[in-house]
Amino acid sequence: MTEEQGMFEWLPKGDIDVSLLFRALDSMGDGIVVTDAQERIVAVNDAIVRTTGYTRDELMGANFRILQGRDTQRDAVKALRDALDRGDRYVGEFVNYRKDGSAFWNGISVAPVMKAGRLTHWVSMQRDITDFVAKRTAIEREHSTTTMMLSVARTLSEPSGGRNVTQVIADAVPAVWGVDRSSFVLWDEVGERFVIASMSGWDGVLAEQLMNWEGTRSESTDLTRIMDSGQPALVTRASSQWARSVMEDFDVDAMAVVPVKIADRFLGIIAGYWSLSPAPRILDDTLIDRMTGLAGLAGVALDQARLQQAIEWSTSHDPVTGLPNRRMLEEHVTEQLTALAEHGGDDVVVLACDVDRFTAISDSYPTAVVDSMLREIAARLVSTIGEDGFVARLGRDDFMVAMRARPEDAEALVSRLLDAFLAPFSVGDDTVHAGLSIGGAASADVAPSPHEPVETFGPTAGQRLISLALADLNARRIAEGARQNAANPEDAGLDSDLRSAVRNGEIEVYYQPQVRLDDGALVGVEALVRWNHPRLGQISPVRFIPLAEYNGSIRDIGLFVFETACADAARWAASGHPLEMSVNVAVHQLEDPTFSDRVVRTASTHGLPNERLTLEVTETRLVSDRSVPQAQLHRLRELGFVVSIDDFGTGFSSLTQLSNLPVGELKIDRSFVSGVTAADRSIVAGLIGFARGLGLRVVAEGVEDAEQYEVLRKLGCDRAQGYHLARPMPAEQFEREWLS
C-alpha cells in the first residue's frame, strides 16, 4: 500500500481518487489532522507540518497532546475531552506549542467519523489564529478601557454621598489597571509633602501603616522624579534604594505610578501595586492609556471639587474682586437696620458708587486688564472705608458701601472716597483717570413715620434702602454721562454708532467650519459677529460686545446674527449641504422672556429643523445666571435645540450642576486645547471622559495644528474647529472654499 493510500484507508471504500484527495488536502491553507478511535494521529496534511514544525513521521502515531503546554487552557481541554467522550462535534481555541517551543493560538474544529454506527476516527480542521486573537484582544481591551473610564466618569459625576474623589479613583485602579492594590497620594502644597488620601485592597497592619505614611520631596526620590516629569512610570525594587525600602516595608513587588495634574498644578499621584500577581516588565500602551485616562479624570474631578467650594463661595461673592455680592449686601443692611431698631445708635448709610468712563475703558482693553482695574477699584474702596464699613460689588462698575454713621460722618466719607479716585489707574501699559459718582440713602429714608415705633422697619427695608441709593446714583450718573459725552465725543459717537449698526448694515456674520474628527467631514459651522465700522474699519468683538451688552444693542445684534445664520443654513441645506449651525447667545438675550419664542419662530420661518441649531452660552453665565435665562434654555432644549457650554473648563460649573442643566454639548476651551500635545493631555482626556459620562457631544475650539488635531481624535473628541482647519470667513468665501 502506498503512503497516499495508507493516509486515506480510514475513508469509506469506493471510487476514490486518493491521489487527487492527497493533493487537494495538501494544497489547503488550513491544517487537517486525522486520529483513530484511540486518538492516535494517522494522517496530517502539509499545513499541519508547516504550522507545528513537526515532521509527518514525528506526528504519526502521536497523541495530539504533543502540542499542549504550560499555558494551554485546562478548561478548554476538558471541554474537548468531554465532547470526544460523547462523540460530539467540538469547536474551540487553544494555546498550542510548536516543536521549537513557541506558542500560537490554534482554532480547532473536530468531527467524528462513523462506520456502521461505530466511531472509527476523528477529523479536525486547524488554523493558526494568533493574529486574529491579537487583534480581537486589542479591540476588547480598547472597549474595556472605554467602558471602565465611562463607569468611573459616571461615578464621579454623581453626588458622592460621602465617597470622595480620591476613594472613587482608588477603588477603580485595581480593575482598570489590573493591579492588586492601590493608593491615592496627595501633594500637600502647604506642608510640601506626600500624604496618603485613599487606598483600596489593603487591610490589617499594612493598611494602617500605609495610611500613616508620608514623605517629602527629598525623601521620596522616585515620586519626586515622577512628579517633575509628569509621565507615568513603572517602579520596581531595583529602581532605587527608596523604592526597594518602601516595597519591602509594604510587601509589594512593583508599582505603576502616574501623576495627577490640572493645568500646571500638581495635585498628587495614583499608584497601583502588584503583590499577588506578577508585574509586567514594561508599561504597554493599553496600561499607559488607562493610567493617563484615570489621572485625567482624577485631575478634573479634584479640580471640580475645589471649584464646587468656589461656587458656594461665589453665590455670596463677586468672583473678580472677591467682594460680597448684592445678596450679601442685602443681608448685611437688613441686619444693621434690625440692630438700629433694637438698640438705636448711628444711622445706616448706603452709598452707591459708579466709576466714571468705565464703559469706554472696558471697551478699549482686554478683559484681564479690566479685571485688574476692578480689583484696584475694590481695594481703594475697602481701604478708604476701613474695617467698620461693608463694600460690595453689584456688577460691572457698580459698587456699594454700607456703614453706621452720623450724617456729618457720611458727608466726610463721600469726600474721602472722591479723593481716593483722584489718583490715576494703571491699565495695561497706560495710565487712565476714572473718577467716582456717588449716590446715597440713609435709614431715615425708609424709617417709619415719627408717630410709629422704630421697631416697625419692614422686612424689605434693606432692599428699599439699597434701591433708593441706586436711584440717587442714577440721577447723578445721567448728569455725569452727559458731561462725559460732551468731553469725549468720539467715545459717545462709538456708543451711538453701535446702536444703529444693524440698521445701517454694518454688522456682518462670519462662519468658522466645524469638522468631525474621526473622518474630517464638515458637519457644521459657528456663526461669529463682526462690526465693519464705516470710519474705523473692523472693530474687534472683544471691544464692541461689552459695549453692546451695556447699551442694550446686543439684543438687536444677536437677533440679526441668528436670523442671518438661519437663512444661510437653510440656503445651504437646499443646495445639498445640511450643516449644523452654532450661534452664540448673550445672557442679556436670555433675560428677554420672548427670546425662546423668537428662536422658534425664526427657525420655523426658514424651515430649519430645531436639532440642527446649537445655542452657545459661556460656562460662567450658564451656571451663575438662573431663573429666566435657564428657563429659556430648558424650553429650547425640550423643543430639540442643542444647548452648548462655550469655553468649558474655565468657569465654575460642577458635574452635579451640569447634569441638571439643559446641555447637549461641551466646547473645550482653547487654553486646554493648546496644551493637549504636552502636559495638558490628561486634562482634556478627563474633560472628554466627563462629557462622555454625561452623554454630551464634545467640540474642541482653537485647534491650531495637525498634532493637536490627531491627539484630540485619539482621545475621542467628536468635533474640532480652529485656524488649523480655517479662520472665520464671510458666507461667500465659505461657500466658495467649502461647499463648491
- 476: cell is 447723578
Q: Which of 326-340, 344-358, 431-445 has the lowest mean pLDDT?
A: 431-445
- pLDDT tens digits along 378-429: 999 999 988 889 999 988 888 999 999 887 788 888 888 988 888 888 877 7
Average pLDDT on 502-520 reads 93
Mean pLDDT of the chain: 82
Position 734 scores a pLDDT of 95
Position 476 scores a pLDDT of 65
Position 263 scores a pLDDT of 73
Confidence of residue 452 (pLDDT cuts 50, 70, 90): very low
Position 190 scores a pLDDT of 73
Residue 157, pLDDT > 60, answer: no
Residue 508, pLDDT > 80, answer: yes
- 493: cell is 459717537
- pLDDT tens digits along 55-113: 988 999 998 888 999 889 898 889 888 888 888 888 988 999 999 999 999 989 888 88
β-strands 41-44, 31-36 pairing: antiparallel
Residue 681, pLDDT > 80, answer: no
Average pLDDT on 615-644 reads 74
Position 292 scores a pLDDT of 86
Average pLDDT on 637-644 reads 91
Average pLDDT on 461-484 reads 72
Residue 153, pLDDT > 70, answer: no
What percent of the chain stands above pLDDT 90?
Answer: 27
Residue 481, pLDDT > 80, answer: no
Q: Please say whether the beta carbons of 372 and 485 come within 8 A.
A: no
Position 3 scores a pLDDT of 45
Q: Please say whether the beta carbons of 666 and 696 come within 8 A.
A: yes
Q: Which of 4-18, 55-69, 180-194 has the lowest mean pLDDT?
A: 4-18
Residue 635, pLDDT > 60, answer: yes
Rounded Cα–Cα distance for residues 177 and 716 (Å): 20
Secondary structure letter of residue 276 according to DSSP: S
Residue 5, pLDDT > 50, answer: no
Average pLDDT on 428-436 reads 76
Alpha helices in 277-325 (DSSP H): 285-314
Position 485 scores a pLDDT of 46
Confidence of residue 486 (pLDDT cuts 50, 70, 90): very low
Residue 155, pLDDT > 80, answer: no
Model pTM score = 0.42
Confidence of residue 605 (pLDDT cuts 50, 70, 90): very high
SS3 content of the chain, % helix, strand, coil (to 5): 50, 25, 30
Average pLDDT on 554-565 reads 90
Burial class for 432, CB neighbours closer than 10 Å (0-12, 13-18, 19+): middle
Residue 16, pLDDT > 60, answer: no
Confidence of residue 341 (pLDDT cuts 50, 70, 90): confident
Residue 370, pLDDT > 50, answer: yes
What percent of the chain stands above pLDDT 70?
Answer: 81
Position 227 scores a pLDDT of 87
Residue 363, pLDDT > 60, answer: yes
**Spatial CA neighbour of 356 closest among 268, 418, 429, 281:** 418
Position 265 scores a pLDDT of 82
Residue 621, pLDDT > 80, answer: no
Q: Which residues in 481-520 are b (16+ Cβ under 10 Å) and which e? A: beebeeeeeebbebbebbeebbeeebbbbbbbbbbebeee
Residue 1, pLDDT > 50, answer: no
Residue 271, pLDDT > 70, answer: yes
Position 524 scores a pLDDT of 95
Residues in Cβ contact with 449 at an 8 Å cutoff, skipping those fewer than 6 apart: none
- 308: cell is 464646587
Rounded Cα–Cα distance for residues 97 and 101 (Å): 6
Task: Compute the C-alpha angle 640/643/646, nearest 5°.
Answer: 160
Q: Which of 589-593, 619-623, 708-712 has the lowest mean pLDDT?
A: 619-623
Residue 719, pLDDT > 60, answer: yes
Position 613 scores a pLDDT of 95
